A and B are shown apart, each in its own frame.
Chain A
Amino acid sequence: MQNQDFKHNSKLAQILAQLREQIKQKYSFMEVCGTHTVSILKNGFRDYFKNKIDFLSGPGCPVCVTAQRDIDKIVCLAKQNVIIATFGDMIKVPGTKSSLEKEQAKGADVKIIYNPLQCIDLARKYKDKKIVFIGIGFETTAPVIAALVQDAYQKNIRNLFILPLLKTIPQAINFLLQSPKVNINGFLLPGHVSVIIGENPYKFINSKYQLACAIAGFEPLDIALAIKSLLSQIKDGNPKIDNVYRRVVKKEGNPKAKVLIFKTFQKCDTYWRGLGIIPHSGLKLLDKYADFDADKNFSLEFEIEEKATGCICGDILAGIKSPLDCKLFGTKCTPDNPIGPCMVSIEGACSAFYKYGLTSINK
């Protein structure tokens, strides 16, 4: 159920009522980050601003945008008598024929970790095995994975490998905005990606597309401030990158984290589920760290066959369609039996819509 907790906070309720009152036409705002999607649904903002603001979920859930072919690659690795170390979100995501969870049931060794540095302990504990860490994430997670690579290099760990699947957000936003199908009036920019990259990498959204942007936190207060900022930028005709999450996001981001990322990775083109190949939107290991690159140290041969399931996750991730437009949503595709990645991840749009009771009935 949705909370609408803000209704119990009289000041916030008053602010939101003023905001809702001032909206005279319908706007489409994209929340790029999956954690924002959950917060907007959980706190009832979507219902509260019904017919005033359309909240579009963007490509900001790393699990959801991991390509089916990359899941197939992970499954292929899991069959090779290795230990797969992964964040928990990944294990249920279906590839073409299998998932990590299914491989685990068949005997594959899959360990869920919280901190990538746990892989160093695994590599030391299981000296006779190869450990493969599934390196998914955006800029928030990139410095953490970079730290793992640096530690493994310095400690000369020889049985640890990283499958680099890191992606970067500004390039994906730029790609989305080039599509004529996308209709967006403003962006709630991802708070914790911005902790690392700061404000500047988003400037093109103002200069090239004249769209309003607010870097937002995840509490109801933060979302309210972001909506207020977007509305006033539109009203004034003055789009900018307004940072309303200044308690953790600095203009320059986190310089040490950025140095660590670029000491470890280089930009590459990469494939996003639903969006295709986006130039310079991925991070791959520098040649210096080739010995740790799972892509270069394992035989990864499998057929790429993208199975047609009727799932519309691709269009949902691009902000073109809503989970409610999908004929599988809530019937054939549920959190217990997910068909697409947006239903698998707890931060996927479909999973959040399902959890907070949004069905086509209250569309």
Chain B
Amino acid sequence: MCLGIPFKIEKIEGNSAIGSVSGIKREIDIRILDDVNINDYVLVHAGFAIQKVDEFEAKETLDILREYAKSGF
């Protein structure tokens, strides 16, 4: 039940934003996040953005895996 889906923010008005994922648009409440900007990816649970997706860390995770694949554990 604690599903979270990453949405890309397209529009912001006060605490409300419009986000999209795979062509689906949803209204998202952003009151529990600071500093949300257009084009940010946010993790959405039950209509609320609960965290920004850190693109650097997302890339880092993939890089770590690539590294392990090359060198082993």
A residues near B (Cβ < 8 Å) are 10-12, 14-15, 18-19, 22, 33-35, 60-63, 87, 89, 114-117, 136-138, 140-141, 143-144, 147, 190-193, 195-196, 221-222, 224-225, 228, 232, 244, 246-250, 254, 256-257, 260, 345, 347
Contact = CB atoms under 8 A, between A and B. Distances in A.
B51 interface: yes
Interface size class of B (residues with CB under 8 A): 20 to 34
Interface string B47-71: 1101111110110111011101100
B44 to A, nearest CB: 10
Given A141-B1, A143-B32, A147-B31, 13 more contacts: A11-B66, A35-B2, A115-B29, A137-B1, A137-B2, A138-B1, A140-B45, A144-B47, A192-B45, A225-B65, A247-B58, A256-B32, A260-B32
A141 B45 contact: yes
A250 B4 contact: no
Contacts of B33: 254, 256
A354 B60 CA distance: 35
Q: Chain A's interface: helix, strand, loop or mixed, by majority?
A: helix
Contacts of A244: 61
B13 interface: no
B72 to A, nearest CB: 5
A345 B66 CA distance: 36
Q: Give the interface SS of chain B, mostly helix, strand, loop or mixed.
A: mixed
Most buried by B among A143, A222, A347: A143
Contacts of A196: 50
A257 B50 contact: yes
Nearest to A146: B32
26 contacts: A12-B69, A18-B73, A19-B73, A34-B1, A34-B2, A35-B1, A63-B1, A115-B29, A115-B47, A137-B1, A137-B2, A141-B45, A144-B45, A144-B47, A147-B29, A192-B45, A195-B43, A225-B65, A247-B53, A247-B61, A248-B51, A248-B54, A249-B51, A250-B51, A254-B51, A345-B1
B46 interface: yes
Which of B1, B29, B32, B51 has the most A CB atoms < 10 Å from its CB?
B1
A195 B52 CA distance: 10
B3 interface: yes
Nearest to A36: B2
A244 to B, nearest CB: 7
Contacts of A115: 29, 46-48
Interface string B1-42: 111100000000000000000000000010111100000000
B57 to A, nearest CB: 4
